Structure 1
Amino acid sequence: MPRYRLTVEYDGTAYNGFQAQAEQPTVQGALETAIHAFSGEQIRIAAAGRTDTGVHATGQVVHADLARAWPTATVMNAMNAHLVHEGVCVLDCALAPDPEWHARFSAVGRAYRYRILNRQAQPVLERSRVWHVRKPLDAEAMHTAAQGLVGQHDFTTFRDVGCQSKSPIKTLDVARVERHGDEVHLVFEARSFLHRQVRSMAGTLVEVGLGHWTAEDIETALAARDRSACGPVAPSAGLYLTGVRYA
């Protein structure tokens, strides 16, 4: 039974997250429906990350086990033909490097980008794809403060109360804040993240950009290991899973 590795892009606006849910539109549901439509097989796929409602992806990775050995180009093109009316598409399809390879458990790194539109005028074309912050943000101050989050820490402060991870200890490899014209981008990279960790860090760093918090406040919040010490949680619209790294 061949295992296929799919790189997937999606606009999460119309979906109740990635994970399949009964009678709810999800990214997983759309992908599995497309697989059934062209192959006749009803299967369950696995993903590198289960993104929340409204979160997007430009580099999500999933795997699918199919009974028949289809050409990889056929799998990609056939799925996209059945996804044409969905906010999902398959960017690439390849055979998994070995039978034990797993989209989630074989991953050694994940990258997220958070987009903030920082101008007075509201977004029109990308209303559901950015967080609109009208007041000027100091991206340099945000970047400096973000460095206090890099490394191995107990991220309880930035962990959603419903997080099911066994441990709040994670190692954040990259935390970068960059201005690109009217947009401020926050880039985070780690082996794995806690539930809503990225949105919690992004929302808190915006408080620095607005001048409400300092870099020292970020360090104090992290050290508190207390969810109540977290700043506002950024909305889902600006978050993108941009890539998954494998050894």
Structure 2
Amino acid sequence: MPQSRADSPSPEEQPKRPIDSPVDLSKPQKIARVDSGDQQSESLKPEARKMGFQRYLVAVEYIGTKFSGSQKQLNGRTVEGVVEDVGVHALSNTFHVDVERISKRKPGEVKNEGDIMLLDVRTIPANFHARFNAKERIYYYRILSGQDALSIFEKERAWHVPEKLDLLAMQKACSILVGHHDFSSFRSAGCQAKSPVKTLDELRVCEVIPSSSFPSNTDNGQKDGGLFGGRKSHRLYMITARARSFLYHQVRLLVGLLKSVGTGELKIDDVERILNARTITETPPMAPACGLYLGNVMYDFLSDDD
């Protein structure tokens, strides 16, 4: 069988490992190795090739709220290595897996669980690595600003910030942080990256209109005090971070800083001071995991095939 270009990166800031047990096949496959990118010895051994192993790239989306983290646990449901930590979500994340017996099932025929879904599968070369072949990763972070409690439909899906946010100040802070820097101030303990120097290709924040499949049930300014049984709407801010790779917790630490600038706890001058300090002790607390989404991991298949 010809091998097509493939890729499968680990999610975000720290090297991630594979999926634990989200995909349920009616006839289980013989899996030799699953990896989303924290192992460097990834080429199949010659004897494995003789046994008929095929490497696949798999794309999944999931809600990370109910997962216990990224490590295998006896008493907790996990997505091993794919979830950066408890509560992080993914619109599209990838990992690679070596399978001994090739299934004729198509991705749509695989049984998916309620909070994780298989998006795509493709064959890839035996030396292709989910993490190291990735060319770019995009993360999104959702902040809902407003004093009222969040709707249950938004809980664990965004960071609720009661204070008003200064969008212009946050955008100015983004312009300071974009580029090639030593991001030691935005690197948690346990980071396995060899260097804190990274190139942040994009960091931007904008206010967007909250979308819903339901008619509006928010306060419409009625004279009697508002719609009975309704709720006040929140302002939704979307932060986008794009780079080839990130440090451990880098995105959440950057968001925590932007929030502090937006609320006025920090000034614009503090952003450059914290960046140049090169120590996490100067950085505000990181944003919670619930608002973070891995948007996509991208590959250059033509380049990788050369």
Asked if 1:109 corresponds to 2:136, the answer is: yes
Per-residue Cα deviation, 1:190-223 (whole angstroms, up to 9, x for no partner): 1111111100000111011112212221111000
Q: How far, CA to CA, are the matches of 1:193 and 1:56 in structure 2?
A: 16
Asked if 1:65 corresponds to 2:88, the answer is: no
Asked if 1:77 corresponds to 2:105, the answer is: no
2:72 maps to a residue whose letter is A
Structure 1 residue 235: Cα displacement: 0.5
1:237 maps to a residue whose letter is C
1:77 maps to a residue whose letter is G
Tell me the equivalent position of 1:27: 79
Structure 1 residue 168: Cα displacement: 1.1
- The 5 A counterparts of 1:186-205 are 186-205=239-258
1:60 maps to a residue whose letter is N
Tell me the equivalent position of 1:168: 196
Q: How far, CA to CA, are the matches of 1:51 and 1:226 in structure 2?
A: 22
Tell me the equivalent position of 1:215: 268
Tell me the equivalent position of 2:88: 55
Tell me the equivalent position of 2:157: 129
Tell me the equivalent position of 1:42: none
Tell me the equivalent position of 2:207: 179
> Does structure 2 conserve the Cα–Cα contact (< 8 Å) formed by 1:109 and 1:192?
yes
Q: How far, CA to CA, are the matches of 2:276 and 2:254 in structure 1?
A: 14
1:194 maps to a residue whose letter is L
TM superposition score normalised by structure 2: 0.69
Give the structure with the higher percent helix. 1
Aligned residue pairs total 222
> Does structure 2 conserve the Cα–Cα contact (< 8 Å) formed by 1:17 and 1:26?
yes
Q: How far, CA to CA, are the matches of 2:101 and 2:261 in structure 1?
A: 53
Structure 1 residue 187: Cα displacement: 0.5
Q: How far, CA to CA, are the matches of 2:74 and 2:247 in structure 1?
A: 25
Tell me the equivalent position of 1:31: none
1:227 maps to a residue whose letter is I
> Does structure 2 conserve the Cα–Cα contact (< 8 Å) formed by 1:108 and 1:246?
yes
Tell me the equivalent position of 1:138: 166
Q: How far, CA to CA, are the matches of 2:71 and 2:106 in structure 1?
A: 21
Q: How far, CA to CA, are the matches of 2:70 and 2:285 in structure 1?
A: 23
Structure 1 residue 50: Cα displacement: 4.9
Q: How far, CA to CA, are the matches of 1:21 and 1:77 in structure 2?
A: 29
Q: How far, CA to CA, are the matches of 1:224 and 1:162 in structure 2?
A: 19
Partner of 1:216, secondary structure, is helix
Q: How far, CA to CA, are the matches of 1:172 and 1:193 in structure 2?
A: 8
Structure 2 unaligned residues grouped into runs of 5+: 1-52, 210-234, 301-306
Structure 1 residue 175: Cα displacement: 0.3
Q: How far, CA to CA, are the matches of 1:100 and 1:19 in structure 2?
A: 24
Q: How far, CA to CA, are the matches of 2:271 and 2:138 in structure 1?
A: 21
Partner of 1:107, secondary structure, is coil
1:163 maps to a residue whose letter is C
> Does structure 1 conserve the Cα–Cα contact (< 8 Å) formed by 2:67 and 2:78?
yes
TM superposition score normalised by structure 1: 0.84
> Does structure 1 conserve the Cα–Cα contact (< 8 Å) formed by 2:64 and 2:83?
no
> Does structure 2 conserve the Cα–Cα contact (< 8 Å) formed by 1:27 and 1:88?
no
Q: How far, CA to CA, are the matches of 2:73 and 2:176 in structure 1?
A: 37
Q: How far, CA to CA, are the matches of 2:74 and 2:131 in structure 1?
A: 22
> Does structure 1 conserve the Cα–Cα contact (< 8 Å) formed by 2:207 and 2:237?
yes
Structure 1 residue 75: Cα displacement: 4.8
Partner of 1:141, secondary structure, is helix
Q: How far, CA to CA, are the matches of 2:83 and 2:245 in structure 1?
A: 11
Structure 1 residue 23: Cα displacement: 3.4
